[in-house]
Amino acid sequence: MDTIVNVQDAKARLSALLAEAELGGVVKIARAGVPAVQLVPLGAAPREFGIMDLPPTPSSFFEPMSEDELAAWE
Asked whether the beta carbons of 51 and 28 are under 8 A apart, the reply is: no
Asked whether the beta carbons of 21 and 41 are under 8 A apart, the reply is: yes
Please check whether residue 46 lies inside any domain of the structure: no
- The reported pTM is 0.54
Please check whether residue 47 lies inside any domain of the structure: no
What is the per-residue pLDDT across 13-29, written as a single tens digit (0 to 9) for each? Answer: 999 999 999 888 899 99
Please check whether residue 49 lies inside any domain of the structure: no
CATH of the domain at 34: 3.40.1620.10
Rg (CA), the chain: 25
Please check whether residue 36 lies inside any domain of the structure: yes
Please check whether residue 24 lies inside any domain of the structure: yes
Q: Look at residue 2 and give its three-state secondary structure.
A: strand
Amino acid at residue number 72: A
Expressed as residue numbers, the domain containing 19 is: 1-41
Above 70 in pLDDT, residue 62?
yes
Q: What are phi and psi of 71, to 5 degrees?
A: -65, -35
More confident site: 24 or 68: 68
Structural domains counted in the chain: 1
More confident site: 7 or 45: 7
